[in-house]
Amino acid sequence: MKKFAIGVDIGGTNTAIGIVDEGGNVLVKGGIDTLQHGDAVRYAKELTAAVKEMAKNLKLANPDAEILGMGLGAPNGNYYSGTIEYAPNLSFKGIVHIIDLLKAELPEYKYLALTNDANAAAIGEMIYGGAKGMKNFVMYTLGTGVGSGVVVNGDLVYGHDGFAGECGHTTLIPGGRLCGCGALGHLEAYCSAPGMKRTAFELMAKYNAVDSLLADKSFIELSSKMIYDAAVKGDKIALEVFELTGKYLGQGMADTVHHLSPEAIFLFGGPTAAGDLIFKPAKASLEEHLLPIFKNKIKVLPSELNAGDAAIVGASALVWKEIEK
């Protein structure tokens, strides 16, 4: 009998759903809108209906298929309580007991688990990606924010209350840029995609760089992909954006190494697609800021998860981790 797990990625606008095999391959994909659902009970029912329809389609193609459970990745997802708590970009507010709601709708699934999206990516890397066989590593996810998942001795670290691993909200520069969370100088304010945009505008103002390929872009229009494209063409501003972003990221990763002594740090997300443009300065900065006992020991690696399916695959990996327990 072929075994499968369902992965669900709950985003601010859409919820992506996939049925994933033991090799990390997504066989069936679907989704529902997240944005219109202020009512969590209704949302759980619509999610259940979509999951059941997809499971039926899987059975038609694979009569011997067995779905063992469902993993969910969501902003502010709490593994311990099965709740989504005060997620700023979701339409249902406060504390949502999503796992309890789904257990009522899907009693046939023995394994139901929830965590945040960065933790899901870390588990996905451990089950399906480049961290297979690793017991101690950290996953950094760079995108709208900077998330992280921490694995110690083969287990994801959730901490006392389920929210451990917020490396993006460590202080990089005291009194520095305003972070989206309201604090000043956090790593996220410098190394996220919006942080890169802020760096680009600061540099253009500093150098009065009217000839930059980025100079005619508005802040809303500018993206990390545009910065990458300009860097490839040799634009000095874009190249310095990557140099500074890598420098900041390496400094933040050094703090993580000093706390956890991981075997490797994996980088995932849009800006990391720039390859050596960000990896080279990040690695150099990491080594510069490390204690001698850690130098030349820590691998900095790109995620091996497929970018398009990573969130679904990572969430589904929660099921296999639950089965291991």
- The CATH topology of domain 137-302 is Nucleotidyltransferase; domain 5 (3.30.420)
Check residue 118 and give its pLDDT: 92
Q: What is the pLDDT of residues 177-209, one digit of tens each?
A: 999 899 999 999 999 999 999 999 999 999 999
Check residue 90 and give its pLDDT: 83
Q: pLDDT-based confidence at 262, cuts 50/70/90? A: very high
Assess contact for 195 and 207: CB atoms under 8 A: no
Closest CA to 318 of 55, 104, 109, 97: 109
The two beta strands, 95-96 and 83-85, are antiparallel
Cα separation, 6 vs 51, whole angstroms = 8
0.75 exceeded by pTM = yes
Q: What is the pLDDT of residues 118-161, one digit of tens each?
A: 999 999 999 999 999 999 999 999 988 999 999 999 999 999 99
Q: Which residues of 239-274 are buried (b: 16+ CB within 10 A; e: fewer)?
A: bbbbbbbbbbbbbbbbbbbeebebbbbbbbbbbbbb
Does the pLDDT value for residue 35 go beyond 80?
no
Q: What mean pLDDT comes out for the span 297-320? A: 93
- The CATH topology of domain 2-115+123-128 is Nucleotidyltransferase; domain 5 (3.30.420)
Q: What are phi and psi of 113, to 5 degrees?
A: -145, 150
Q: What is the pLDDT of residues 12-23, one digit of tens each?
A: 888 999 999 999
DSSP per-residue string spanning 191-219? HSHHHHHHHHHHHHHHHT-TTSTTTT--T
Count of C-beta atoms within a 10 Å radius of residue 210: 8
Both tokens assigned to 208: 């009065």
Does the pLDDT value for residue 11 go beyond 90?
no
Handedness of CA 216, 218, 221, 224 (dihedral sign): positive
The mean predicted confidence, pLDDT, of the chain is: 94
Q: pLDDT-based confidence at 91, cuts 50/70/90? A: confident
Q: What mean pLDDT comes out for the span 315-321? A: 94
Q: What mean pLDDT comes out for the span 294-302? A: 98
Check residue 37 and give its pLDDT: 64
What ranges do the domains of the chain cover?
2-115+123-128, 137-302
DSSP per-residue string spanning 60-128? HH-TTEEEEEEEEE-TTEETTTTEEES-TTSSS-SEE-HHHHHHHH-TT-SEEEEE-HHHHHHHHHHHH
Q: What are phi and psi of 151, to 5 degrees?
A: -115, 125
